[in-house]
Amino acid sequence: MSTETIVTLSEYPLIDFVRLVNKIFADYVVPIDWNVLTFKMDARENSISFNDSFIFLSDDIPTGFILNAIRGNRARIDAMGVIESERGKGLAERILKHALHHLKIRNVETTILEVASTDERAVRFYDKNGYRIIRNLHTMILENPEIYKAGEGTHSYMTSDSKVVYQIALTYEIHQQRSPNWQREPLSLLLANGRYNYVRVNTNGEEGYFVWGKNADDSAFIVDCGSKSDKLESVIRDAIDYIVAQTNAKLISIVAVPENDKMYNALQLLGFRTILLQYEMFRKL
């Protein structure tokens, strides 16, 4: 009979953990392809706690894992998975129950997670374990982006940093009642310091910011945008102008935009289309 043990991520070699995750998610609708560096950046940006994340082993062979991110009395399951040979045997439920029990002891009151809408098995699993869908998250793309405002009005861009944009984003969120998801909360923008490009923009006196990056395939992505006057469509146009001028990107993407956040409607108006739908699921502890 095999012996099951549980260790925290802080007790486990990161290179072995990254290999485990990449193997488990190789055939998933949203594949993960971490290396140690990119995992460390993701962990910092999303507040993943190594002491509150777990690897399950059977006779010292890793069989599953769960990554927990914690902010105050809130937690987010960043990722969870089981190796193919152990699926359907109850391991996933043991992992989840262990994690939720641990989080409750840590005085966490609520947890969230994201799951692809097409992964019906996972949706049923989380629903069975007390999670409920609270909103849709859209990964969107704009193909063959063109410069919108060449020669129109006055546009100025100023490179900035995570600390400045964090303060601006926090102010905008409070005053405009935005509904960002975990990955683009102001704190996430702050913790991602050094990973993305931070730009402040002023268009005909209207102030805003955008956070963006470039992919290895020469496409680009927007992380977040904000506008002092709540004119997000204008700031996103400015972001597209800037990114196209800087990179000549033929595709611009943005990941997991909440349907009830003002940015979603602005992106639709500018021609972005959804290529992946995820559910954000919630549970009280």
DSSP 43-100: HHHTTB-GGG-EEEEETTEEEEEEEEEEETTEEEEEEEEE-GGGTTTTHHHHHHHHHH
Element (H or E) spanning 280, and its range? strand 273-284
Give the torsion sign (CA, 257, 172, 77, 12).
positive
- Under the banding of pLDDT at 50, 70 and 90, the label for residue 59 is very high
Predicted confidence at residue 230, as pLDDT, reads 74
pLDDT for 149: 58
pLDDT of residue 204: 80
User: pLDDT digits over 143-171, tens only?
Assistant: 999 876 544 667 799 999 999 999 999 99
Say whether 140-280 and 4-108 share the same fold: yes
**H-state helical runs in 155-231:** 162-176, 186-191
pLDDT one-digit tens code per residue, 166-203 = 999 999 888 877 889 999 999 999 999 989 999 999 98
Q: Does domain 4-108 have CATH number 3.40.630.30?
A: yes
Q: What is the pLDDT of residue 90?
A: 93
Specify the CATH number for 140-280; select among 3.60.15.10, 3.40.50.850, 3.30.420.10, 3.40.630.30: 3.40.630.30
Domain boundaries, the chain: 4-108, 140-280
Q: How far apart are CA 50 and CA 68, in angstroms?
A: 8
Report phi then psi at 25, rounded to 5: -100, 10
% pLDDT > 70, the chain: 97
Average pLDDT, the chain: 93
Q: Please give the C-alpha separations between residue 163 and each of 41, 159, 166, 260, in angstroms, as whole numbers.
A: 17, 12, 5, 26
pTM of the model: 0.93
Residues 234, 238, 243, 244: is their CA dihedral positive or negative?
positive
According to DSSP, the β-strands at 273-284 and 132-143 are: antiparallel
For the chain, what's the residue count?
285
CA atoms of 32 and 26, how far apart (whole Å): 7
Give the pLDDT confidence score for residue 174 in this predicted structure: 81
Of 25-34, 61-70, 103-112, 276-285, minimum mean pLDDT range: 25-34
Whole-number pLDDT of residue 179: 87
Per-residue confidence (pLDDT) for residue 255, from 0 to 100: 96
pLDDT at 218: 87
Residue 101 has a pLDDT of 97
SS3 255: strand
